Amino acid sequence: MVDRGNRVGPDSNSVFDYDAELRRYRQRLSDAIDVAPEDNVLDIGCGAGQTTRDAARIAIRGSALGVDASSVMVAHARRFGAADGLHNVRFEQADAQVHPFPPAHFTVGISRFGTMFFADPVQAFTNIGRALLPGARLVQLVWQDGSRQEWVAAIHRALVGGAPPAPAAGDGAFSLADPATVDGVLTTAGFTDVRVTDVSEPVYYGADPDAAVDAVPVLHMASDLLAQLDADETERALERLRMVMAAHSTTDGVWFDSRAWLVTARRSRT
């Protein structure tokens, strides 16, 4: 099932602002996709639909479909799409691992950190591949290992006072952190010409330390840790978190270093 894996819940009204967090990666993905006016684009794990709408604005003689497991995010995406007056964009609540997409329909598949949470990645990418025309491109961003994410270490250390444990192999947001794993999954799923490129951009957590502290508890990473603390411990943990956010605060907001892989591939022509 495709889900971001770090909301309070798939239908929670408290939703982390991924578009703000990932704003520096927006252009990286857009440049790599290189959407054409005639393209039909499939956006996997689209969240609130920013990347889908970006594609639709360029694919003026084509279309863009965004899918996400969260009904709340899809509702946001539909509202934003309507507000933008885009008539060639659609959003569906769907599990991309099993959803019956129209076969061989899409000319481009894209994802901004939306493909790391499949229960069966090979099945998921095989299903996505069936929806793509032979030779169509798949372009996605996925996180590198958690040990390379400043935000992971800083938030964990602030909330529990120690470094985070090494993630289990294939775990959650970092399940595609190993380029060899990515290559193996995509090749088995029927993709060719797999390329994995190192990219690094800071991620945004709020306009100021207070806003960042308010935003972080929505993340599963933080809410799971806070759930283990009593009221006094929680207060102290949030104060430590505020100090960390203050240390990363700039005139342009609160930022943390991050590293990702830009993964490109093509659906096999056979």
Q: What is the pLDDT of residues 132-150, one digit of tens each?
A: 999 999 999 999 998 999 9
Count of CB atoms within 10 A of residue 15's CB? 18
Cβ proximity of 266 and 131 under 8 Å? no
Is 213 a member of any domain?
A: no
Mean pLDDT (the chain) is 91
Is 119 a member of any domain?
A: yes
Mean pLDDT computed over 237-252: 95
The CATH number covering residue 104 comes to 3.40.50.150
Cβ proximity of 249 and 128 under 8 Å? no
Is 42 a member of any domain?
A: yes
Is 224 a member of any domain?
A: no
What is the pLDDT, as a whole number, of residue 86? 95
Q: What is the pLDDT of residues 25-42, one digit of tens each?
A: 999 999 999 999 999 999
Spatial separation of the C-alpha atoms in residues 25 and 201, rounded to whole Å: 7
Q: What is the pLDDT of residues 75-84, one digit of tens each?
A: 999 999 999 9
Is 107 a member of any domain?
A: yes
Is 105 a member of any domain?
A: yes
Q: Is the pLDDT of residue 175 over 60?
A: yes
Closest CA to 139 of 199, 92, 73, 94: 199
What is the pLDDT, as a whole number, of residue 101? 97
- Quick check: pTM over 0.75? yes
With a CB cutoff of 8 Å and minimum separation 6, the contacts of 161 are 240
Is 109 a member of any domain?
A: yes
Is 45 a member of any domain?
A: yes
C-alpha dist (Å) from residue 255 to 29, 133, 154, 222, 246: 19, 39, 11, 17, 10
How many structural domains comprise the chain? 1
Q: Which domain holds residue 74?
A: 18-147+171-207+257-267
